[in-house]
Structure 1
């Protein structure tokens, strides 16, 4: 039974659309409420959806001493039930590049500085087109733009809502080692296990 479940997880993941830098769409609609202006980014909460889920985060992502805001923006609606919506990761300053085309709904987590470069890394929690198995990737800002340094790894949510707080606690830095919490698919209760998260250079 567990082998069948593992096969299903891998199959679901294999069907997931990923991040594409080749597809570029002109932003036409925002995902939810308008983003906050740059001059109030450190004074007001980021916009949230009707479910109370933040669509953006704040932080000094490029190390210039100014608090920036980042958010998810819808750029292209799905053309059918088996095609994903496309979103972009946007920033309130042109000094920080965005990610132009991301297939499928995602949420953003400010992870803090995980790799010792002095800048906060971000994670994307991406929803499946069908099913309940989500996945996460972690990104760092380089001179060439955003680079994935960890993941993707699966999060078999089993239909349970993942709060912003629970996503924030998925990755932890302890004594210069980065860990992540992931469900044990060999356990019928999906008990969370703490594992080292290797970061790519």
Structure 2
């Protein structure tokens, strides 16, 4: 190595020292909450790259625990639980997890689809979570959960069909909404059997929140 090369390397190292110092200071001043969220998002991206087509994932945001801060909810569903008639247990649950680790996961027996922030249906200061769950049929249940005392409680459920999510509904049907005339009630859009047509018909009705 020539003298000029050694000098060039020394000069480069000297010029890089202020940059390293700024990076260290910048990292030291970062908000720990931001770091947690960034790490969670990074983990989610890494998991998505590994999971690939094996899972279906929805992500929504809202204030699910009433602390005035935005959390992210992630659904993870194993299609083997949906497409197979035989029971499959490969250790991968159908669940909903959260960016805030203090919020417990929601675990379900069947495939989770159409994760939805339903807003504050029961006026308790927290957003409720809704999702469509089914097994091997196009029919399924739409369930709404609310976090109460640190535990998830199902407060609304209704029978539905995946055709509700067609283009004519904008792929985002309004299945549950607050009943403006009855406190503690919601109006649901669901299906009921009709003997005249020997098939299900779509109806709307008011039901009490559990």
**TM-score calculated relative to the size of structure 1:** 0.61
**Residue 195 in structure 1 maps to residue 205 in structure 2:** yes
Q: How does 1:44-193 map to 2 (within 5 A)?
A: 55-74=58-77, 78=81, 81-83=85-87, 86-99=93-106, 101-107=107-113, 108-128=115-135, 130-151=136-157, 153-157=158-162, 160=163, 162=165, 166-175=171-180, 176=183, 177-186=185-194, 188=197, 190-193=200-203
CA distance in 2, matches of 1:198, 1:113: 15
Higher helix share: 2
> Considering only aligned residues, what root-mean-square deviation do their CA atoms show, in Å?
3.6
Classify the secondary structure of the residue corresponding to 1:185: strand
Q: Which runs of 5+ in 2 are unaligned?
A: 1-35, 41-47
How many angstroms does 1:39 deviate by? 5.4
Q: Of the two structures, which has the highest relative contact order with CA contacts closer than 8 Å and spacing of 6 or more?
A: 1
Report Cα offsets for 1:129-162 as digits up to 9, x if no partner. Answer: x2221112211101131111222x32144xx372
Q: Which runs of 5+ in 1 are unaligned?
A: 1-36, 42-46
Q: Is the contact made by 1:60 and 1:68 (CA closer than 8 Å) also made in structure 2?
A: yes
CA distance in 1, matches of 2:37, 2:120: 22
Q: Is the contact made by 1:58 and 1:69 (CA closer than 8 Å) also made in structure 2?
A: yes
Task: Flag the 1:89–1:54 CA change in 2: closer, same or farther, 3 A.
Answer: closer
**TM-score calculated relative to the size of structure 2:** 0.59
Q: Is the contact made by 1:68 and 1:92 (CA closer than 8 Å) also made in structure 2?
A: yes
How many angstroms does 1:115 deviate by? 0.8
Classify the secondary structure of the residue corresponding to 2:141: strand
CA distance in 2, matches of 1:198, 1:56: 28
Classify the secondary structure of the residue corresponding to 2:165: coil
Q: How does 1:5-24 map to 2 (within 5 A)?
A: none
CA distance in 1, matches of 2:78, 2:161: 27
Structure showing greater Rg:
2
